[in-house]
């Protein structure tokens, strides 16, 4: 699960959309395609999702890592450097999550 990562990224001002635990993975792919978002996931869904959204639009993370370390890895991967004005600039309300995806970079389809 990536709830902790979602909290960290939201605190840093990242526009994060999270799915409910009951949502199908196809929902993530459709939203990523429609809104040009990157899917962040871990485990088995990665291969399926990557094939649906294309190269570079799906990032697999290690679920055994701490959320803070995952957040650092995501920010470094996309070369994102939050500014002080980004901190806590997003709503901190969270929902149950299986996958979430964010608009760190725009995907090209």
DSSP code at position 26:
H
> Which ranges of the chain have pLDDT less than 50?
94-101, 103-105, 109
Residue 37 near residue 31 (C-beta atoms within 8 A): yes
Write down the mean pLDDT value for the chain: 79
Whole-number pLDDT of residue 4 = 83
Whole-number pLDDT of residue 22 = 78
Q: Which two tokens stand for residue 94?
A: 């969270």
């Amino acid at each position: 699960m990536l709830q902790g990562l979602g909290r960290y990224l939201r605190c840093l001002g990242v526009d994060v959309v999270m799915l409910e635990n009951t949502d199908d993975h196809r929902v993530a792919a459709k939203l990523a395609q429609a809104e040009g978002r990157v899917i962040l996931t871990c485990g088995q869904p990665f291969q399926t999702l990557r094939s649906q959204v294309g190269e570079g639009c799906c990032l697999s993370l290690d679920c055994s890592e701490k959320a803070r370390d995952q957040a650092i890895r995501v920010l470094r991967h996309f070369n994102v450097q939050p500014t002080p004005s980004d901190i806590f600039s997003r709503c901190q309300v969270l929902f149950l999550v299986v996958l979430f995806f964010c608009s760190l970079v725009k995907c090209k389809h």
